[in-house]
Amino acid sequence: MSALNVAKFGGTSVANFEAMSRSAAVVENNPDTRLVVSSACSGVTNLLVELANGVQAQERRNEILSQLAEIHDAILNQLQDASETAAEVYALLDTVTSLAEAASIQASTKLTDHLVACGELMSTHILTQLMKERGLNTVRFDIRDVLRTDSNFGRAEPDVTQIALLAQEKLLPLCRDFIVVTQGFIGSDLDGNTTTLGRGGSDYSAALIAEGLKATGLEIWTDVPGIYTTDPRIAPKAAPIPEISFAEASEMANFGAKILHPSTLVPALRHDIPVFVGSSKEPEKGGTWIRHEAQSSPLFRALALRCNQTMVTLRSAKMFHAYGFLAKVFEILAKHKISVDLITTSEISVSLTLDKTNTSGGAPELPQAVRSELEELCSVEVEHNLCLVALIGNHMETKGYAKEVFSTLGDFNLRMICYGASDHNLCFLVDAHDSKKVIQKLHQDLFEQHN
């Protein structure tokens, strides 16, 4: 096999029979596609997460379970020969039922992963059968045999070396003979427990598997024709970007452009695998190519917005001319596996924002245990209801750019500003209720007028 393409389909691309059929057509149209990575059908993971968090009321549990059955039945009903597939899906729904009951008594992250994994396990049974019925030589593969992770349930870390070994041994030979359909999002630890990579993790899975297989291309199929200059629901004149560099796209993904899971580009970058993002609904519209080097490198490329930010400010007079304070702070955060996003410092204080991407969702909180430990060192203040705006581009050290950016923002309070570590982004925190206006104003002044 000289060319091997991995195609990943998100929840909306496998939401129902029509969506799955369009996705199958996308696979047919690229003869290099040997591996298909699928998300759960749209909406399914949210329902499973609700169950996993522990639903006490039996009535509500049953309601969710029937919704889950309905979503999958609607597709099964349109298959020509659904019998075996339906049996597999119903068996998984039985598992969901008993795990949901267990979670209503005592929820745990381990149980959550086991439960939510059923979404991808079900969708891939159906997608495999649908592709077979279209005449594609398809086989389903349980990715837990390859995607080895640690046991950090809810946001497991992949073991890249093991994944590569297992992918070469177990997956690559299958890809020679079949189009292999497998699950995104899920993996397993050394003890065989099911793990997940965090919400939206299927993109990351696809990239990890592509890396392990030494694939020549990775396609991420979703419901928008590529990466936009910003969210078109906020700024209607936002436009798709035909080509973008890995560096810019990583910043975007990282800073909230929901189109890609933030870690997706890490494996792609390591192995220099070009990534295409497009819409399985309208593949003819093209999409965005993410490459090592893009041909153009404009000053401003895109604007990303991430809400639900939690900002923590730590103050200590002891920090004045002292050393080791930050090291102590980060030691505490690292010990509790708290991931930090933005950071700014002054002589006696440091502010940082918390990152939250694990499977159970919600706004990030500073756990009480962490707070108490930090309070032994300094004062701790926590603020919520903030949004992070990231302006992505190139050579942002260019003279005059800051004036251009900040003069458009004269009417807004900026809570925190970060620039310097990378010349690809400038980001700041604003009040949640200003966030959309900030994006609209920046898009208008920096993008619509320039283009």
262 binding partner (options Mg ion, ligand ASP, none; Cβ < 5 to 8 Å by kind): none
Region near ligand ASP per CB under 6 A, out of 37-45, 101-109, 132-140, 233-241: 37-45
Question: What φ, ψ does residue 373 adopt, rounded to 5°?
Answer: -65, -40
Question: Using CB under 6 A as the criterion, what x/- string covers residues 392-431 for binding ligand ASP?
Answer: ----------------------------------------
Q: How far is the CB of 427 from ligand ASP (least distance, A)?
A: 24
> Is residue 184 a contact point for Mg ion (CB under 5 A)?
no
| Cβ contact 199:359 at 8 Å | yes
Stretch that binds Mg ion, among 9-17, 21-29, 369-377, 428-436 (CB under 5 A): 9-17
Binding partner of residue 45 among Mg ion, ligand ASP, none, CB cut-off 5 to 8 Å per kind: ligand ASP
Kindly tell me which residue out of 24, 27, 40, 163 binds ligand ASP, with binding defined by CB under 6 A.
40
- Least distance in angstroms from the C-beta of 72 to ligand ASP: 14
410 labeled binding residue: no
Q: Is 313 annotated as a binding residue?
A: no
Residue closer to Mg ion (CB basis): 104 or 222: 222
- Per the annotation, does 9 bind a ligand? yes
As measured in angstroms, the least distance from the Cβ of 322 to Mg ion is 44
Per CB under 6 A, which of residues 262..321 are in contact with ligand ASP? none
Using CA atoms, how far apart are residues 194 and 188, in angstroms rounded to an integer?
A: 4
**Residue 12 in the binding site for ligand ASP (CB under 6 A):** no
Which residue's CB is nearer to ligand ASP, number 185 or number 289? Answer: 185
Q: Site for ligand ASP (CB under 6 A): which residue of 10, 158, 226, 364?
A: 10
Query: Does the protein bind ligand ASP through residue 9 (CB under 6 A)?
Result: no
User: Does 201 participate in binding ligand ASP (rule CB under 6 A)?
Assistant: yes
Angle between helix 109-133 and helix 58-76 axes, rounded to 10 deg: 20
Task: Return the residues of window 344-383 that contact Mg ion according to CB under 5 A.
Answer: none
- Given 54, 119, 225, 262, the residue binding ligand ASP (CB under 6 A): 119
- Please select the residue that binds ligand ASP; options are 12, 202, 230, 435, rule is CB under 6 A: 202
* Residue 364 engages ligand ASP in binding (rule: CB under 6 A): no
Binding mask 197-226 for Mg ion (x = CB under 5 A): ---x--------------------------
Q: What HEC string does the chain produce?
A: CCCCEEEEECHHHHCCHHHHHHHHHHHHCCCCEEEEEECCCCCHHHHHHHHHCCCCCHHHHHHHHHHHHHHHHHHHCCCCCCHHHHHHHHHHHHHHHHHHHHHHHCCCHHHHHHHHHHHHHHHHHHHHHHHHHCCCCEEEECHHHCCEECCCCCCCCECHHHHHHHHHHHHHHHHHHCEEEEECCEEECCCCCEEECCCCCHHHHHHHHHHHHCCCEEEEEECCCCCECCCCCCCCCCCECCEEEHHHHHHHHHCCCCCCCCCCHHHHHHCCCCEEEEECCCHHHCEEEEECCCCCCCCEEEEEEEEEEEEEEEECHHHCCCCCHHHHHHHHHHHCCCCEEEEEECCCEEEEEECCCCCCCCCCCCCHHHHHHHHCCCEEEEEEEEEEEEEEECCCCCCCHHHHHHHHCCCCCCCEEECCCCCCEEEEEEEHHHHHHHHHHHHHHHHHCCC
11 binds ligand ASP (CB under 6 A): yes
Q: 448 a known binding residue?
A: no
Query: From the list 5, 12, 23, 45, which residue makes contact with ligand ASP (rule: CB under 6 A)?
Result: 45
Residue 154: φ, ψ to 5°: 90, -30
- To ligand ASP, the closest distance from the beta carbon of 448 in angstroms equals 32
Note whether 185 binds ligand ASP by CB under 6 A: yes
In the bound complex, what is the minimum distance in angstroms from residue 212's beta carbon to ligand ASP?
Answer: 18
258/371 with CB nearer Mg ion: 258
Give residues in contact with Mg ion (CB under 5 A): 10, 200
Give residues in contact with ligand ASP (CB under 6 A): 10-11, 39-40, 45, 119, 184-185, 199-202
